[in-house]
Structure 1
Amino acid sequence: MTLNSALYNALTGLGANARAAHVVSSNVANATTEGYGVRSLSLSSRTLGGAPSGVVIEGVNRHVDERLLGDRRLSDAAVGYGSTRSNFLDGLEKAIGTPDQLGSLSGRMAQFEAALIEAVARPDGEAALNASLNAARNIVSHLKTTSDHIQDARLTADQSIAQEVAQLNQGLKDVQDLNTKIQAAIVRGADPSGLMDQRQQAIDALSSIIPIKQVPRDGGQVALISSGGAILLDGRAAELGFSPVNTIVPEMTLGSGALSGLTINGQPIDTTADRNAITGGSLAAHFQVRDDLAVTAQEQLDAFARDLVERFQDPALDATRAPGAPGLFTDAGAVFDPADEIALSSRLTLNAAVDPAQGGAAWRLRDGLGAAVPGNVGNATLLGQLVDALDAPKVAASGGFSGTARSSAGLATDLLNSVAASLSHSEAQLGFDAAQNDSQREMELAQGVDTNAEMQKLMVIEQAFAANAQVVTAADEMLQLLLSM
């Protein structure tokens, strides 16, 4: 080996050592950076005429477990879906209230019945009659508040859909731009690892919204396809369309055309199907809240209101009422029509005849809604019939409840139990998905930067650098000796 070749070998070695030290320092500095792929330097020896001729830097390799990354992204979507559903159901349960709360629907019903029983015992007591009216008024108010909560949840879901669609459109464009830059970097022979990190972060930011599968393409590019088969990005980013509304009432549904659906590149997506193009992420869950869960909750609440109205609208109850006149609970002051059940819980009011706030009198609760003057203050017959009407076993006419006959309080319990069962199932599934997501993230971190291993590499690099530097020094001394001869 000549002095020139020895010097050249050492110099290429020093260059490789410097680049390797840079890669190690980058790994250590980004040990906790989300989306960072561990780098390693790829080297190869070069020979000229069969003789060693230094080392060549082939490039920097970025190491990511694509299968684990894909599984974790699907898990992100499952957590996004489950948390959105659970948040709605939890809020609904709180709005209805649990039986241990006095302000719950069950508690309001119990207070109403207790007040009526007290009035039966003291029909001459104005305080007992007023307490019964206040208890009935509290039921009306509670149903209205719960109905408002459900529609507010639908509006929040509608607004969240709009926000997530905008985030998806921007995120897909960002990934498209990064694809182009990565391809250009590879053509130039530059290291695209930093751009790949950014692309992974951009895709990760979308993974909780829609379950995304990443498919490699030529030139370092990737395509993105939802688990439901929708092509979100393949060369060009897809354009998702959605039009939010400013207010939502129970009558507004997707089927009626009052609410917007989702489109991808102008093509409508059936978000109501069990398996659709966006199934599994928070976007699908928001659609489910707006168009399914909240709609069902409103239907059941209206069914409860209907059951309550019809119990006291029974023609056999209160002979003083004119035929076809409303009972104690009314549909905005009028008699209830079964064909107009939607949003009944939000229109429910007390009969003006007994409501002092509407010009009525509390004594009509005892003497009859159609009574012109007070009757025998000791007659508790009608009050007792009101109690019986509350307790009478009756099959709910709507709302999807079981065919079991139950009292009004029993129906209130069934309404809450339905929500509680859905919430329990949703939380159990969310707990499983969250635990799985945590495990996958831990596995990702375990396959990330090992700082101990990187420091060991740095020690080896330091030794190699010193050896190459020693060769350069020795070659220089020999050349200087030769030149001085």
Structure 2
Amino acid sequence: MGLTTTLANALSGLNAASRGADVVSQNISNARTPGYARRELNLSALSLGGQGAGVWIDGVSRSLNQSLLTDRRLADADVAAAGTRTSFLTAAEQALGQPGDAGSLGGLYAAFDAALVQAASRPDSQARLQAVVDAANDLATKFNGLTDMLQQARMDADDAIATQVDELNKLLIQTDELNADILAARASGRDATALMDQRQGLVDRISQIVPVREVARDHDQIALYTTGGAILLEGNPATVGFSPVGVITADMTLASSALSGLSVNGQPVPSGPTGVLGGGSLGAQFSVRDELAPEIQMQIDALARDLMERFEAPGVDPTLAPGQPGLFTDAGLPFDPLIEEGLAGRIRLNTLVDPSQGGALWHLRDGLGAVAPGQVGDATLLNSLRDAFAAPRIPASGPFIGAGRSAGGLAADVLSQVASNRQNAEAREAYTTARQTSLTDLQLKDGVDTDAELQNLLLIEQAFSANARVIQTVDDLINKLIGL
């Protein structure tokens, strides 16, 4: 081996050692950077004319466990979905109120029952009759407020869907642009690993909205498919469509086309948590808008119907004419089973018994259809109203058990169901969060190990020193040859 070849070998070794030190420094400085993948310097032997000519730097590659990354992304989507569901159910449970709370639905049922009992014990007391009116108004107002809360939650979910669809489309366009930038960088021989880190961060954000699987393509390109089978990126980014609405009422549903679903490249696709774009925060918002909130609305509508029918039943108030509303009305009208949707938002106390609306308290004691006050000491009707309220009755609608329940018992059943769903959602969220944490920890352990990087740096320093010594030795030999 000649001195020239020896010098070339040593110089290539110095260059490789210098590049290796740069890679190690990048790894250590980005050890905790989200989306950063550990770099590895790829080297190969350089041979010219059948003789060794040093080391060749093939480039820098990213060391990444793609399977672990995919699992962690799916866990991110699960956490986002579970958190959305839990937040809604927690808010719904708080709106219903806890048993024993004065402003809870159950507490207002109990207060109304107590007011009827007290009024029946002193039917001549204007104060006690007014207490019944106040308790009934409070109960109707609670139903109205629950409906407003549920429909507002649906509108918030609709707005969130629109926002997330816009964000998803932007992220897909940016990912496609990075695909093109990476391809151009590779073609010009430049290092594209930093661009790949940026692209990984974008896909991480996409996976929280919609769970996706990344598929490698030639020349460091990627394609994205949802776990439901939709193509989000394959050569060109897909366009996800959605049309938000301004106001949502209880009767508006996706099935009736009053609410918008999703489309991909102009083609409608199944929406919701089990749709082709379901599984992440986007699917969870559809679940709130089209499943969770309507289910609770259906339950409180059934409660409102039960409350109205109890006091409209024949024999409860003999003064009522056929077709006349009872103590509670549907915005002034009797109950109509054909328009039960949203009934809880329209339930009102009959104005005949409310002095603030032009009515008279004596109608509570003497009958809604009575034309004149009767005996002030007659508690017959008040007792009949209380018996109707407390009597076991099988509700005509709603997801209740097929057994007779009092009005207060039905209200407790609704709270129990919502609380049970909230607990299940919290358990699911706890599981998904624990799984996400475990996968994140595994990914970090599989990433940059600073101790190992420092050990590599020591080896690189030794290689640099050895190559520098070879160059010094060659220089000394050349000087001696020149001096002969």
Give TM class, smaller chain: over 0.9
Task: Quote the offset at 1:49 in angstroms.
Answer: 4.1
> Which amino acid letter does the alignment assign opposite residue 130 of structure 2?
N
2:91 corresponds in structure 1 to 91
2:355 corresponds in structure 1 to 356
1:127 corresponds in structure 2 to 127
The answer to whether the 8 A contact 2:274-2:283 is kept is no
> Which amino acid letter does the alignment assign opposite residue 400 of structure 1?
P
Q: Please, what is the CA RMSD of the aligned residues?
A: 1.3
Separation (CA, whole Å) in 2 of partners of 1:323 and 1:243? 45
Structure 1: segments with no counterpart, 5+ residues: none
**SS in structure 2 of the partner of residue 107 of structure 1:** helix
1:12 corresponds in structure 2 to 12
> Which amino acid letter does the alignment assign opposite residue 320 of structure 2?
R
**SS in structure 1 of the partner of residue 208 of structure 2:** coil
Which whole-Å deviations, capped at 9, do the CAs of 1:101-140 have from their partners, x for residues lacking one?
A: 2211001000110111111112222221111111111100
- The 5 A counterparts of 1:371-390 are 371-390=370-389
1:465 corresponds in structure 2 to 464
TM-score (norm 2): 0.97
TM-score (norm 1): 0.97
1:141 corresponds in structure 2 to 141
- The 5 A counterparts of 1:17-166 are 17-166=17-166
Separation (CA, whole Å) in 2 of partners of 1:9 and 1:316? 108
The aligned length equals 484
Separation (CA, whole Å) in 1 of partners of 2:63 and 2:403? 61
The answer to whether the 8 A contact 2:70-2:214 is kept is yes
Separation (CA, whole Å) in 1 of partners of 2:216 and 2:347? 58
Separation (CA, whole Å) in 1 of partners of 2:474 and 2:92? 81
Is 1:257 the counterpart of 2:282 in the alignment? no
Task: Quote the offset at 1:410 in angstroms.
Answer: 0.7
Task: Quote the offset at 1:42 in angstroms.
Answer: 1.0
Is 1:188 the counterpart of 2:181 in the alignment? no
Which whole-Å deviations, capped at 9, do the CAs of 1:292-345 have from their partners, x for residues lacking one?
A: 111121111111100000101113112222332111100111111111111111
**SS in structure 2 of the partner of residue 222 of structure 1:** strand
Instruction: List structure 1 segments (4+ residues) > 4 angstroms apart after TM superposition.
Output: none
**SS in structure 1 of the partner of residue 396 of structure 2:** coil
1:276 corresponds in structure 2 to 275
Separation (CA, whole Å) in 2 of partners of 1:243 and 1:47? 63
Which whole-Å deviations, capped at 9, do the CAs of 1:432-467 have from their partners, x for residues lacking one?
A: 111111100000001111111111111111121122
Separation (CA, whole Å) in 1 of partners of 2:239 and 2:395? 46
Structure 2: segments with no counterpart, 5+ residues: none
2:240 corresponds in structure 1 to 240
Task: Quote the offset at 1:13 in angstroms.
Answer: 0.8
The share of aligned pairs that are identical, in percent, is 50
**SS in structure 2 of the partner of residue 353 of structure 1:** helix
Which whole-Å deviations, capped at 9, do the CAs of 1:343-379 have from their partners, x for residues lacking one?
A: 1111111111111111112222112122333322211
Separation (CA, whole Å) in 2 of partners of 1:270 and 1:136? 43
**SS in structure 1 of the partner of residue 209 of structure 2:** coil
> Which amino acid letter does the alignment assign opposite residue 356 of structure 2?
A
Separation (CA, whole Å) in 2 of partners of 1:55 and 1:282? 50
Separation (CA, whole Å) in 2 of partners of 1:335 and 1:276? 40
Separation (CA, whole Å) in 2 of partners of 1:453 and 1:45? 24
Separation (CA, whole Å) in 2 of partners of 1:84 and 1:46? 57
Which whole-Å deviations, capped at 9, do the CAs of 1:79-110 have from their partners, x for residues lacking one?
A: 11111111111111111112132211001000
The answer to whether the 8 A contact 2:320-2:367 is kept is yes
- The 5 A counterparts of 1:200-215 are 200-215=200-215
**SS in structure 2 of the partner of residue 39 of structure 1:** strand
The answer to whether the 8 A contact 2:242-2:262 is kept is yes
1:413 corresponds in structure 2 to 412
